[in-house]
Amino acid sequence: MTNYMIPIIFVPILLSIIVMIYAPAKEYLRFKLSHVCLILLMLSAIVITGISISTMVYSHDFDWINGLGVVLLFIVYHQTTTLHISQSTAIFMLICAFYTFFANFSIIFDAHLNPTGDLVDYSFKALLFLMALSILFCVLYVYPLAKYGSYIITHTTEPRIWWTATLVSTFFYAFNLCAVVHHYSTLHTNKVGRAYTIVMIAMFMLLMLLCVIFYMIVNAVIQKAETDDRNHILEMQEKQYESLQKYIDADTKVRHDFRQTIYTLKEFSEEKDYQAIDDYLLRYIEALPKKDTVDFCSDHALNALLNHYSRKADANDIKLELKVMLPNTIHIESIDICSVVGNILENAVASCLEIPEDKRFIRMIISEEQNREIYIAVSNSFNGVIKKTGDRYFSTHKGGNGIGLISVAATAARYGGTADFSHDDDVFYSNIILVNR
């Protein structure tokens, strides 16, 4: 009866593993949730069938089915999500590392119950203990993993970071596999059992601590990037303010001197020296202060941003077409609109710089749609080189990190909108909707 119960006990263990690996990737499913569940159900049936066969033929030796199950589960996991291979591998290996700790803890428990036994006679009670640990871990940490894990996935696309995290998790996974005790009598020799338990607990806590440190470091980098964006926008506003202030000062001086100009013109008029009047007016017009900023919209921050990229486009021979029609009342934070527009224009300018000057163009329209949405549409020329995984585009520019488009999508989602990106042979399209409420 015990042998028949073993496959049933493995079901909640397998389900807890599946829940944990999919928790941070819940927003990156390649297929509908119902389809993914069906695929996982079929995989679970295969694994449980393998465990049943292993129970009947090989007693409690699950090594072959464990290895096969891990490989199959990873393949299904990666193919059913849009995560980059580095991201899916890092998450999968992290969860596997944690569950190998639970397997070793269950072996310690089994050795306590059967001091003269070995791993081949792994007891049913130890399996129940493993199930309890797995379910408890899932219940306690599925929400933090879903919340903070998805946050890191959304804001961190650099593969090198994820491959580094994979190496750390793989180290703990390999450590647990190498530390498996096959003969329980080993743990009852002198103080080996106590030392082994302390090391296992310490390594488990170390892995938990590394996860927290990893999140804190990544979060600090993300916060710094967002702060830099805000500071960049403030710098552009400051430059535009200084430019406007110079224009106002010069205009004030001209207004102040205008009385003298009238007197001079009157003298020329009395002398009927019309040529002198004409020459004087030409010099006067040339001396008038010129405003070097354009009023694209009434939002000062966005106007400063658009002026910045307008000058940048002119300096690099990029044909820039801007059409801004914002509503009178905007419920979206100005800094967020600037972040979206700035990230898109920055990518667009960088893309244009990689192609010949005669092919460079950027077209942007910002308008109100249906009296409740801010619509931002941008099309720009590029060299046709795309780096993409699923629906996610990654930066191909030298020094680019791909955070820009991810930040745009995150901002759009925060305002109940959408961010769609697409391309054809030589034009990249960005369509963003922000709900103005």
Whole-number mean pLDDT of the chain? Answer: 81
Give me 196's structure tokens.
């082994």
Shared-domain flag, residues 406 and 275: no
The residue-averaged pLDDT of 298-321 equals 85
* Same domain, yes or no: 273 and 307: no
Kindly state whether residues 119 and 11 are assigned to the same domain. yes
Asked if residue 212 belongs to a domain, the reply is: no
* Whether residue 333 sits in one domain with residue 396: yes
Q: Is residue 195 part of a domain?
A: no
343 and 280 co-located in one domain: no
- Is 207 among the domain residues? no
- Looking at the structure, do residues 176 and 308 belong to the same domain, yes or no? no
- Residue 161 inside a domain? The answer is yes
Q: What is the pLDDT of residues 42-100, one digit of tens each?
A: 877 777 776 666 655 655 555 555 667 788 888 888 888 888 888 899 999 999 999 99
Tell me how crowded residue 258 is: count the other CB atoms within 10 A of its CB.
11
| Total tally of structural domains belonging to the chain | 3
pLDDT for residue 96: 92
Please state, for a pLDDT cut of 90, what percent of the chain lies above it: 23
The verdict on 110 and 171 lying in the same domain is: yes
Domain assignment of residue 227, yes or no? no
The answer for residues whose C-beta is within 8 angstroms of residue 385's C-beta and 6 or more apart is: 396
Q: Report phi then psi at 373, rounded to 5.
A: -135, 140
Does the residue 206 lie in any domain?
no
Give yes or no: residues 426 and 329 share one domain: yes
The reported pLDDT for the residue numbered 401 is 46
The rounded percent of the chain whose pLDDT value lies above 70 is 79
Starting at the earlier edge strand, list the strands of the sheet with 361-369. Answer: 319-325, 361-369, 373-381, 427-435, 418-423
What pLDDT, in 10s, does the model give residues 119-169?
Answer: 777 788 888 899 999 999 999 999 999 989 988 887 777 788 899 999 999
Domain boundary among 126, 154, 189: 189
Same domain, 253 and 123: no
Residues with Cβ within 8 Å of 37's Cβ and at least 6 positions away in sequence, in order, are none
The confidence score (pLDDT) of residue 140 equals: 93
Residues 277 and 170 placed together within one structural domain of the fold:
no
pLDDT of residue 263: 66
Same structural domain for residues 264 and 305? no
Provide the pLDDT for residue 249. Answer: 62
pLDDT value for 134: 92
For residues 81 and 25, the answer to whether their CB atoms sit within 8 Å is yes
State the pairing for strand pair 418-423/427-435: antiparallel
Q: What is the pTM of this model?
A: 0.65
What confidence category does residue 199 fall into, taking pLDDT thresholds of 50, 70 and 90? Answer: very high
Residue 412 structural domain: 300-435
Q: Does one domain contain both 283 and 357? A: no
331: its two tokens: 């419920």
Confirm whether 174 is domain-assigned: yes
pLDDT > 90? residue 190: no
Residue 211 falls inside a structural domain? no
> Of the residues 189, 220, 253, which one is the last residue of a structural domain?
189
**pLDDT the model gives residue 175:** 94
CA 383 to CA 428: how far, in whole Å?
Answer: 10
